[in-house]
Amino acid sequence: MTYLFNNPTKFADELIEGYVAAHRNQLRLVEGGVIRSHKAKPGQVVLVIGGGSGHYPAFGGFVGQGLAHGAALGNVFAAPSAQQICNVAQAVDAGGGILFCYGNYAGDVLNFNQAQERLRAMGIEVRTVVITDDIASAPLTEKNKRRGIAGTLPVFKAAAVAADTEKSLDEVFRIATDANDRVRTLGVAFSGCTLPGANKPLFEVATGMMEVGMGIHGEPGLYRINAPTADGLAEMLVNKLLAEIPSAILNPDAARIGIILNGLGTVKYEELFVVYRQVDRLLFERGLTIVQPVVGELITSFDMAGLSLTLFWINDELEQTWIAAADTPAFYRSNIAYTNIGTLEASSHRNKRSLETGSTNSQSAAAIVFLALKVASKVIRDLCKIHDSI
pLDDT single digits (tens) 178-197 = 999 999 999 999 998 888 88
- pLDDT confidence of 347, banded at 50, 70, 90? very low
The mean per-residue pLDDT over the stretch 8-34 comes to: 94
* pLDDT exceeds cutoff 60 at 119: yes
As a whole-number percent, the residues of the chain with pLDDT over 70 amount to 93
Catalytic residue numbers read 217
Residue 265: phi and psi, rounded to 5, are 160, -55
- pLDDT confidence of 161, banded at 50, 70, 90? very high
* pLDDT exceeds cutoff 90 at 90: yes
The mean per-residue pLDDT over the stretch 335-339 comes to: 66
Per the CB < 8 A criterion, the answer to whether 47 and 99 are in contact is yes
**What is the structure's pLDDT at 367?**
76
Per the CB < 8 A criterion, the answer to whether 88 and 99 are in contact is no
Letter for the amino acid at 80? P
Class of domain 10-336 (CATH, top level) = alpha beta
- pLDDT confidence of 136, banded at 50, 70, 90? very high
b/e burial code for range 209-239 (CB count within 10 A of at least 16 → b): ebbbbbbbbbeebeebeebeebeebbbbbbe
Give the dihedral sign, CA 79/80/82/88. negative
**What is the structure's pLDDT at 350?**
40
- pLDDT confidence of 229, banded at 50, 70, 90? very high
b/e burial code for range 48-83 (CB count within 10 A of at least 16 → b): bbbbbbbbbbbbbbbbbbbbbbbbbbbbbbbbbbbe
* pLDDT exceeds cutoff 60 at 346: no
Q: Which residues contact 174 (CB under 8 A, 6 or more apart)?
A: none
- Give 95 or 359, the one with higher predicted confidence: 95
20-34, 201-215, 238-252: the lowest-pLDDT one: 201-215
| Averaged pLDDT score across all residues of the chain | 91
The mean per-residue pLDDT over the stretch 320-332 comes to: 96
Bridge-based pairing of strands 256-263 and 289-290 is parallel
Q: Which residues contact 238 (CB under 8 A, 6 or more apart)?
A: 279, 282, 283, 309
- Give 3 or 342, the one with higher predicted confidence: 3
What's the half-sphere exposure (Cβ side, CA atoms, 13 Å) at 384?
6
**What is the structure's pLDDT at 46?**
98
* pLDDT exceeds cutoff 60 at 77: yes
